């Protein structure tokens, strides 16, 4: 037995309310259906730049593309459907994601009948309306699929054999999919491109892993993992880090290895927080076009309540692993900087030689007041 149209309508009506159909409409209205069944939303189809669509239909570069005037889409008949008086009832634009009138009434598509390959069907064609004429030729347009269907089962008189159907409107051409969100705001946090910031400029950004998780900070030059205490205000009690540092020397004046290879400051050095001890092991390599040397340096650094208490504890162990004889004068050292509360890794090259230096620094970092 075929499903009655009334049951099909009841199903669609309840889906509109976001509930599953469990009984016929005379027994259960949508408000009596208790099982939630929200309309499925595909993440790959989300229009992530829909906020850039203007209220009045207009072209927006990379977001809204017009198909109007001479650019109106000439449709193809869907030959899989049954013709009505020789004319197919469904026509395909083969263009997806037309912008619907939900964004404003000027996005309602216009439909014209004209000769095939018409230069501008909006000027030379005959417009046909969705309500038809005299109860004939009513059509419905599926904005997502770009499909026009003469839903009433009748064909307008203007659409005769040998004529073509044209659709004029606007397509969404922006980014789509949850993986292509250009910017997002969650609470007081804004994520845009490669920047995370607090919308309230005076607000903090608090990263608080729970349990045994680590807060990991990683770039091409730094990789650091911190297990945080449960109180986000409390400093982490221990962590470990990996850092890359580099510099270039051209004489025998000592230079300093920094994370970005630029002039040393407070953000590109191995700066100790208050009440931390760092056990540091660094592998360093230096090279000209024809010479190279490598070392390992190990030391223990400690800082108390302020930068002035920063010190190297005990002896620094420096091991020259291998190198060319002509580079015997090249050297490395570690120095506590009590002005900036950091450890400086210094390298000394040779006069009239351009030497590139690179260090891989590994740390164990322990906090205790």
| 255 plus 119 within the same structural domain | no
| 338 plus 248 within the same structural domain | yes
Annotate 213-247 with DSSP letters as a single string. Answer: --EEEE-SSEEEEEPPPSSTTSPPSEEEEEEEEEE
Residue 70 lies in a domain: yes
| 135 plus 50 within the same structural domain | yes
What pLDDT, in 10s, does the model give residues 39-79?
Answer: 888 888 899 999 999 999 999 999 999 999 999 999 999 99
| 237 plus 350 within the same structural domain | yes
Threshold 0.75, pTM exceeds: no
Residue 200 lies in a domain: no
Nearest to 334 by CA among 266, 245, 260: 245
**Cβ neighbour number for residue 357 with a 10 Å cutoff:** 24
Residue 186 lies in a domain: no
CA angle 339, 340, 345 (to 5 degrees): 105
| 84 plus 227 within the same structural domain | no
Residue 184 lies in a domain: no
| 236 plus 276 within the same structural domain | yes
What residues does 319 pair with on adjacent strands?
A: 296
| End residue of a domain, out of 172, 199, 233 | 172
Residue 192 lies in a domain: no
Residue with tokens 């009748």: 154
What residues does 245 pair with on adjacent strands?
A: 359
Nearest to 332 by CA among 275, 363, 293: 293
Side-chain half-sphere exposure of 222, counting CA atoms within 13 A: 13
Query: What pLDDT score does 238 carry?
Result: 83
Predicted confidence (pLDDT) at residue 223 exceeds the cutoff of 90: no
Residue 190 lies in a domain: no
Domain count within the chain: 3
| 54 plus 32 within the same structural domain | no
Side-chain half-sphere exposure of 123, counting CA atoms within 13 A: 6
Residue 249 lies in a domain: yes
Cβ-contact 335, 318 below 8 angstroms: no
| 116 plus 244 within the same structural domain | no
Nearest to 64 by CA among 74, 77, 55, 76: 55
What pLDDT, in 10s, does the model give residues 264-308?
Answer: 988 899 999 999 999 999 999 999 999 999 999 999 999 999 999
| End residue of a domain, out of 145, 172, 199 | 172
Rounded to whole angstroms, the Cα distance separating 209 from 217 reads 13
Rounded to whole angstroms, the Cα distance separating 79 from 59 reads 33
- Give the DSSP H or E segment for 10: helix 5-16
| 219 plus 344 within the same structural domain | yes
| 160 plus 272 within the same structural domain | no
Range of the domain at 25: 5-40
| 11 plus 77 within the same structural domain | no
Residue 181 lies in a domain: no
Rounded to whole angstroms, the Cα distance separating 56 from 174 reads 17
DSSP state of 6: H
| 136 plus 266 within the same structural domain | no
User: Using 50, 70 and 90 to split pLDDT, how confident is the model at 202?
Assistant: low
Rounded to whole angstroms, the Cα distance separating 365 from 302 reads 10
What residues does 91 pair with on adjacent strands?
A: 77, 148
Phi, psi of 251 (to 5 degrees): -150, -165
What pLDDT, in 10s, does the model give residues 225-266?
Answer: 555 444 444 555 788 889 999 999 999 999 999 999 999 988
Predicted confidence (pLDDT) at residue 213 exceeds the cutoff of 90: no
Cβ-contact 174, 63 below 8 angstroms: yes
């Amino acid at each position: 037995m075929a499903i009655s149209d009334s049951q099909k309508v009841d199903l669609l009506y309840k889906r509109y309310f976001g509930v599953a159909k469990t009984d016929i409409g005379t027994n259960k209205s949508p408000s009596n259906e208790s099982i939630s069944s929200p309309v499925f939303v595909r993440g790959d189809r989300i229009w992530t730049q829909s906020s850039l669509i203007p209220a009045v239909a207009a072209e927006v570069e990379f977001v809204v593309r017009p198909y109007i005037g001479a650019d109106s889409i000439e449709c193809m008949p869907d030959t899989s459907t049954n013709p009505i008086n020789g004319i197919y009832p469904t026509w395909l634009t083969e263009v997806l994601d037309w912008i619907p009138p939900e964004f404003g009434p000027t996005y309602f598509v216009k439909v014209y009948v004209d000769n095939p390959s018409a230069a501008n069907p909006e000027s030379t064609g005959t417009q046909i309306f969705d309500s038809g004429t005299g109860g004939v030729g009513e059509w419905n347009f599926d904005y997502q699929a770009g499909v026009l269907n003469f839903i009433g089962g009748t064909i307008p008189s203007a659409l005769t054999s040998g004529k073509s159907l044209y659709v004029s409107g606007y397509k969404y051409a922006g980014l789509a999919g949850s993986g292509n969100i250009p910017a997002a705001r969650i609470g007081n946090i804004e994520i845009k491109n490669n920047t995370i910031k607090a919308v309230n400029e005076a607000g903090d950004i608090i990263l608080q892993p729970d349990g045994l998780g680590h807060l990991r900070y990683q770039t091409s030059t730094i990789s650091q993992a911190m297990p945080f205490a449960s109180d986000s205000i409390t400093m982490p009690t221990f962590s470990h880090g990996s850092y890359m540092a580099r510099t270039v020397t051209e004489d025998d004046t000592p230079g300093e290895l920094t994370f970005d290879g630029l002039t040393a400051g407070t953000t590109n050095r191995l700066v100790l927080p208050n009440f931390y001890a760092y056990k540091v092991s660094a592998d360093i390599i230096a090279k000209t076009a024809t010479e190279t040397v490598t070392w390992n340096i190990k030391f223990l650094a400690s800082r108390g309540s302020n930068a002035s208490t920063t010190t190297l504890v005990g002896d620094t162990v420096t091991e020259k692993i291998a190198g060319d004889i002509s580079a015997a004068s090249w050297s490395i050292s570690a120095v506590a900087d009590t002005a900036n509360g950091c450890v400086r890794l210094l390298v000394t090259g040779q006069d009239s030689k351009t030497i590139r230096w690179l260090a891989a620094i590994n740390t164990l970092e322990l906090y205790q007041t």
